[in-house]
Amino acid sequence: MLITLAEPATDQPVVKPLQPAIEIHGVTKCYRTRTGDVQALAGIDVVVAAGEVVALVGPSGCGKSTLLRIVAGLEQPDTGDVRLFGLAPAQARREHRFGIAFQAAALLEWRDAAANVALPLELAGWPPAARAERVAALLARMGLSDAAGRLPRQLSGGMQQRVALARALALAPPVLLLDEPFSALDELTREQLQGELLDLLATIEPRPAVLLVTHNLAEAVLLADRVVVLSRRPARVLAEVVVDLPHPRRADARDDEQLHRLVARLRTVLRRDQDEVMGSGE
Ligand SMILES: Nc1ncnc2c1ncn2[C@@H]1O[C@H](COP(=O)(O)OP(=O)(O)OP(=O)(O)O)[C@@H](O)[C@H]1O
């Protein structure tokens, strides 16, 4: 079944069909700390097409979240340029061009599930009746209708992440930024949510472009159309691997031999990078 989570927004400019969803060009970032400079990103170029799912993988601390935060306009790059459908991140945020979800669901603890999902709609000035209808549809889509009135602390970790995803999707953004959305969950719940995200992406029309940060290689391959492999810090792009598993994908594709082969390929790229560092005596 195809569902339309996209509400016709009156003030949303038309998106040109061939325009990339996300363009990251020559982005560098250095954090200045009391104990010295931390060079996080060393010239990153990544382009994500409309409707494409791209996973960013790399060693712990290499700069994946930094890059995602720069795309979201939460950090400024030192050099380089980021555009979402041609807009700078701050403008893209004002125009509700992206939704974002993090590892910790980051829900407002005093608001129930429905009110958390409603937040972006409130900020965008939706009238109460339209808001309520939209929130009910989103909660139903995430299997959370019975939990609408519960506070975050009354929800399991998986349910909290579902609420966070529903909130990120509330304004039907054409871009979804996901930073380790499932990594705080136990393995079974994580697999369950991966399956739900696959279903969601297969049924949302039009499909949003997704930039997904994960350190889990199997998750990257299962969910993404393309995996961008970042090096150890300062991060640069080591490889881009196209995931040619068929669509629509189901969660049981995780047992697919082709998936395992792709994971092995990613691991080889990362290991080679690691070995270079060891070889250089660092
Ligand atoms: N605000 C900050 N100030 C100083 N250093 C920072 C800041 N944010 C991140 N860093 C440093 O920048 C580097 C990249 O961090 P980042 O969180 O982007 O990596 P990551 O690849 O997402 O890590 P992980 O996989 O462990 O989540 C790390 O060395 C981190 O300690």
Ligand 1 pocket residues where CB is under 6 Å: 31, 33, 38, 40, 58, 60-66, 215, 233
The last residue of one of the domains, among 147, 172, 197, is 172
Question: Alpha-carbon distance 196 to 191, whole Å?
Answer: 9
* Residue of 64, 102, 180, 216 to mutate, ligand 1, most atoms within 8 A of C-beta: 64
pLDDT computed for residue 103 by the predictor? 82
**Which residue's alpha carbon is at the smallest distance from atom 2 of ligand 1?**
31
pLDDT one-digit tens code per residue, 111-139: 999 999 999 999 999 999 999 999 999 99
Please give the biggest Cα pair distance in the chain. Answer: 63
**Which residue's alpha carbon is at the smallest distance from atom 6 of ligand 1?**
31
**Cα 66 to middle of ligand 1, angstroms:** 6
**Which residue's alpha carbon is at the smallest distance from atom 16 of ligand 1?**
63
The last residue of one of the domains, among 133, 152, 172, is 172
**202 in the same domain as 268:** yes
Domain assignment of residue 28, yes or no: yes
**Cα 60 to middle of ligand 1, angstroms:** 9
Range of the domain at 131: 105-172
**275 in the same domain as 195:** yes
pLDDT computed for residue 12 by the predictor? 52
Question: Alpha-carbon distance 187 to 113, whole Å?
Answer: 23
Phi, psi for 202 (deg, rounded to 5): -75, -20
**Which residue's alpha carbon is at the smallest distance from atom 3 of ligand 1?**
31
Q: Compute the Cα dihedral for 68, 74, 80, 83 and give only its sign.
A: positive
Domain assignment of residue 5, yes or no: no
Q: What is the pLDDT along the chain (282 residues), one digit of tens a residue?
A: 444 455 444 455 554 556 899 999 999 999 999 999 999 999 999 999 999 999 999 999 999 999 999 999 999 999 999 999 999 999 999 999 999 998 876 899 999 999 999 999 999 999 999 999 999 999 998 999 999 999 999 999 999 999 999 999 999 999 999 999 998 888 998 999 999 999 988 888 889 999 999 999 999 999 999 999 999 999 999 999 999 988 888 888 888 999 999 999 999 999 998 887 666 655
**232 in the same domain as 202:** yes
Structural Rg of the chain based on CA atoms: 19
* Residue of 38, 44, 57, 71 to mutate, ligand 1, most atoms within 8 A of C-beta: 38
Domain assignment of residue 9, yes or no: no
**268 in the same domain as 130:** no
The last residue of one of the domains, among 116, 144, 172, is 172
**Which residue's alpha carbon is at the smallest distance from atom 25 of ligand 1?**
60
pTM of the model: 0.90
pLDDT computed for residue 8 by the predictor? 43
- Nearest atom within ligand 1 for CA of residue 230: 21
3-state SS, one letter per residue, for 203-225: HECCCCEEEEECCCHHHHHHHCC
Beta-carbon neighbour count of residue 195 at 10 Å? Answer: 17
**Cα 64 to middle of ligand 1, angstroms:** 8
pLDDT computed for residue 10 by the predictor? 47
Question: Alpha-carbon distance 113 to 84, whole Å?
Answer: 29
**Cα 40 to middle of ligand 1, angstroms:** 7
**Which residue's alpha carbon is at the smallest distance from atom 17 of ligand 1?**
65
